[in-house]
Amino acid sequence: MLRFLVLTSLAALEALADLGPQPRYLEDSHERVVGGEVATPNSWPWQISLQYRSGSSYYHTCGGTLVERGWVMTAAHCVDRNDIALLRLATEATLNSYVQLGSLPPSGQLLPHNNLCYITGWGRTSTGGSLSAQLKQAYLPLVDYTNCTKSDWWGSTVKNNMVCAGGAAESGCNGDSGGPLNCLVNDKYYVHGVTSFVSAWGCNYPKKPTVFTRVSAYLEWMDSVSIQIQNIISHIWSMAEVIYRVVLGGHDLHQTSGREQIIAVSQVINHPEYDKDDINKGYDIALLRLATEATLNSYVQLGSLPPSELILPHNNLCYITGWGHTSTGGSLSDQLKQAYLPLVDHSTCSKSDWWGSYVNNNMVCAGGGAESGCHYDSGGPLNCLFNGQYYVHGITSFVCEHQCNYPKKPTVFTRVSAYIKWMDSVRI
């Protein structure tokens, strides 16, 4: 029997609502190593570029570390960030007056500014408030892409596969994620958006309308995994997965040297305790099984993992490497960059005016000055010198929401030495 499909959100990017600087995973707002310098080609031969397929092209999204010929280590949030999913139900829904299918818009459709739309959900009725016991609705006029991407609105955070709505007293809030933005077109409501994220400053912060995944951008993807999909959510046999690949031995993202090895990812294994909605819980680590084993040579080598539970001292020499943004709001780096980030010990990093309780013992901090990690560095290595050898001591995880090199907010990494036993158990 065919099963009906439910459209929902994979990544609930409902940021924390305090009015102080908040942490964010480096991919949550889409920005390179800040400061630093271009690395000598292949001087960090275990660094990989994790790329995802969109249409017929691949795009860099995160870094990673080759830890065995057939395994790559990266951050869990790197492979848990696509904000649309299809869920197959165990049994078919019964359609009646109370349960009906949502109508999907035509592929690629863009609605005009101020188009009438309603958000519905059981989310919080105010920033920091409690969940609603009853389904609520709010009128959210559409905000066109030109306005929503202005520098004092959402800027480059919003992409053309997203849609904005609201921006005044009413908005989506925590608990609404995954729900529909129902927009009126030709006297009929279509599910034009999937509720995705709001500002960390508050659910209805000025010039920060609620952001939705634009459903019309994903009709072809839904078509590829369903049996029949016309203008309504129809039936499906199985759930689609994002297609990833890794590029090893690379230096320039846009120019090949002939040294690169490109290998598909056959399996993604997130740590079982990872929770995308609880950033300070940690466990931001994943292992990627490669479809074929890498060939080791002068340009592609394994990253050395530290002894289990190793803790390095304050100011230990470390380098972050990656293709991430070179400044907050800047563009990606074509070439692999490196930046010196001295280690910050836990007692300093967890001070109340530093990261406080956001940082736990399974994390490690580095930097805090002019140089830092930034968007698209996520998942990449923190290479630390220990007994005359570089070890991958950290996996780039998160920075301050305000900017990548915010004072007393050093880059935070998953501490690799805390997860050696877990990785060993996975790779057996």
The reported pLDDT for the residue numbered 404 is 65
pLDDT tens figures, 122-151: 655 554 555 566 677 888 899 999 999 998
Element (H, E) at 162: strand 162-165
Residue 64's beta-bridge partner residues? 48
**pLDDT averaged over the chain?**
77
The Cα–Cα gap between 48 and 163 comes to 32
Quote the tokens at residue 281.
């819980």
Residue 185: per-residue pLDDT:
95
Mean pLDDT of 234-255: 67
Q: Which is more confidently placed, 372 or 177?
A: 177
Which tens digits make up the pLDDT trace of 160-194?
888 999 876 454 454 446 778 889 999 988 989 88
Q: By three-state DSSP, how is residue 351 classified?
A: coil
Domains annotated on the chain, with CATH: 37-220 (2.40.10.10), 305-417 (2.40.10.10)
The catalytic residue positions are 77, 83, 177
CB 191 within 8 A of CB 211: no
pLDDT: is 251 or 206 the higher one?
251
Can you tell me the mean pLDDT for 55-70?
A: 84
380-392 average pLDDT score: 95
CA distance 403 to 327: 8
* Residue 408 backbone zone (phi > 0: left; psi -120 to 50: alpha; other: beta): left
pLDDT at 121 over 90: no
Say whether pLDDT at 61 is over 50. yes
Give the percent of the chain with pLDDT over 70.
71
147 and 98 in contact (C-beta within 8 Å)?
Answer: no
Specify the pLDDT at position 203.
65
Residue with tokens 């759930």: 239
Position 115 scores a pLDDT of 95
- Output the pLDDT for position 227: 37
- Rounded Cα gap, residues 51 and 60, in angstroms: 4
- Least confident range of 74-78, 187-191, 250-254: 74-78
Determine the average pLDDT of the residues in 83-111.
Answer: 77
| Reported pTM | 0.62
- The CA-atom distances, in angstroms, between 379 and each of 232, 320, 366 are 37, 11, 15
The DSSP element (H or E) to which 424 belongs, if any, is: helix 420-426
pLDDT the model gives residue 237: 25
158 contacts 145 by C-beta, under 8 angstroms: yes
CB 222 within 8 A of CB 229: yes
Residue 202's pLDDT band, with cuts at 50, 70 and 90, is low
What pLDDT, on a 0 to 100 scale, did the predictor assign at position 424?
A: 93
Residues in the chain: 428
- Separation in Å, CA 27 to CA 75, 311, 377, 396, 422: 10, 27, 8, 10, 24
